[in-house]
Amino acid sequence: MSENPTSAPRRVRWGLIVALVVVVGLVLAVVLALAGFASLMKGPAVSVKPDSTLVIALDRPLQELPPNPLFTEFFKIKVYSVHEVVAALDRASVDDRITGVLLDVGAIPAGFGKIQEIRAAVERFKKSGKPVWAYFESAGNGGYYLASSADKIFAPPSANLMLTGLLAEIPFYRGVLDKIRVEPQLYHIGDYKSYSDTFMRKDMTEAQREATNAILDSLYGQMVRGIAEGRKVTPESVMAKVDRGFLWGAQLKEEGLVDDLLYRDQVEEALRKANGNEEKWNRVEMDQYIKDHRVDPSSKARKTVALVLASGGIISGEGEGSDGGSGGNVGSATLVKWLRKVGEDKGVSAVVLRVDSPGGSGLASDIIWRQVQVLRKSKPVVVSMSDVAASGGYYIAMGSDGIVAQPGTITGSIGVVSGKFVLKGLYDWIDYREEILKRGANADMLSSGVRFSPEQEKIIEGQMRAFYQDFVAKAAEGRKMSYEDVDRVAQGRIWSGEDALKIGLVDRLGGIPEAMDLAKEKAGIPKDERVRVRVYPRPKSFFESFLDGGAEEVVRARQIRALPPELATAYAEYEQLRPLASEPFVLVAPAGLPGALAGPAR
């Protein structure tokens, strides 16, 4: 019996239809499942009860960019951005439902800039007449420096405090490189530009020692004065306590470092009574409070200021990590995209560029610098410096309409580094062989298999000097200083924010609010007029982060958190430098800085 010739195509068509229905059904099922999962992830609606205490846990990482929602929602790892903490405190100061704040502090993994930003927000909150209490069980320099801004400090009878002072641990790898027969051929312009010395030397130069000691003096003085003012004691008495190093239990109260020794439940009971609650203590965690927008001082604002976040090492192209920065790098293409976006947005009156970067690629820094100049033609750009804005971090800031830094910001480092690592000795040692054939006298200039020739060294030095001169000239133009005056304070030297103000590298001391005020001033907006703040990059949703590879970032971060502090720091430095391997000019601040990489909580 012969088959109908039209039946085969009909079966194929029906097969395709069935397959299409199955695929569409699967897609709908996945979408519905994801939507249901997303609704579960949202959790219950936020409810802020009257007479509530805002609880801010500051014993965890503080960053500039919005936290990855995979951390906060899926893995329940609470990570706060500085802007979130500051905004929550400022909003709570005018929220009648909030009657006080409890700071839960510990060994805060943050630098001076971020901690001073939050200290200032605490001081503004206290002006509302509402109390701020701090509680710690185990704290270091940074945690206690922050806690000292509170009205009262409490700790349990078994608490410990490592108020040890500041430490700069400057690494030198030359001995290690010699052992594995790797020869660093690195060069720098600037007497104080010491980053290359990390690999070229086994000890500090006198110039590096001078600059580092000046930073330590400045930051230590700020910490001592801040604690003394907060605890209403003399700086000398604070230094005496610091020199004791490790204090615990009853010693904390005897030395006046805490107001009383209370367990957490006793602190909560005291807060309940202070708030006038007869039944129970009402509290709201900060991560929940920031989701409640019933009290928003800027809700009726007519004008908008963009807050553009640039956090991490500076590299060419797209940044690594979610949103081009939270994984550790600021990509020039990514940041330029954001700056262009706010430039084209007619609803944005001014821009605050928040910089937290030790630098990176010279090329990428210059590309970003140029976009800042383009943006300034349409609206004012003011820079707010966080923990560190040095070398390339200063490069992208210097051409703005104004620079605001915290007293403890690490900045400056106007200098340049270039060179390569020669692996010929290592190759011979492990009996690896390669033969080099070339066309062109300098085809092997960047090869790791051969040293620079004398002629190539002259080429490198000439190009570096030209880049340095351009760096200084642009800084002089941006800061309205002479070339000679900038060159005198440049030379690769790092400065604290308070010292940078004295020599003209920054305009004001303060944080994001002060930068906002300056941006409003430049835009002709009255100082007392509230503005809406629009943050770039915008926080990603849970699924946006997942689709953009955020899960990989979470896994890597969890692995790093398990490392000893020294290895975690070394890995962070490696990740920062890895993308710079192919860059001819590197603008990076020296490693091991107090308040920059390690922070005062160490």
Helices 206-231, 112-126: axis angle to 10 degrees equals: 20
- Cα 515 from Cα 74, distance rounded (Å): 34
Residue 539: cis peptide before it, omega within 30 degrees of 0? no
> 391 an active-site residue?
yes
Count of CB atoms within 10 A of residue 470's CB? 13
- Cα 428 from Cα 415, distance rounded (Å): 35
Backbone angles phi, psi at 5, to 5 degrees: -65, -20
Question: Which of the following is catalytic: 391, 400, 418, 496?
Answer: 391
DSSP 70: I
Written in H, E and C, the secondary structure of 491-513 is: CCCEEEHHHHHHCCCCCEECCHH
- Cα 491 from Cα 414, distance rounded (Å): 6
Cβ(136)–Cβ(159) under 8 Å? Answer: yes
Cβ(511)–Cβ(117) under 8 Å? Answer: yes
Which structure tokens are listed for 407? 């007293």
Q: Is 221 exposed, middle or buried (0-12, 13-18, 19+ CB in 10 A)?
A: middle
Which residues are 259's β-sheet partners? Answer: none
Instruction: Spell 555-569 as b/e; 16+ CB within 10 A means b.
Output: eebeeeeeeeeeeeb
- Cα 115 from Cα 144, distance rounded (Å): 10
Which structure tokens are listed for 111? 């630098």
- Cα 514 from Cα 422, distance rounded (Å): 47
- Cα 64 from Cα 357, distance rounded (Å): 11
Beta-carbon contacts of residue 380 (< 8 Å; ≥ 6 apart): 350, 351, 401, 402, 519, 522, 523
- Cα 244 from Cα 261, distance rounded (Å): 20
Which residues are 160's β-sheet partners? Answer: 138, 248
Cβ(593)–Cβ(388) under 8 Å? Answer: yes
Residues taking part in catalysis = 391
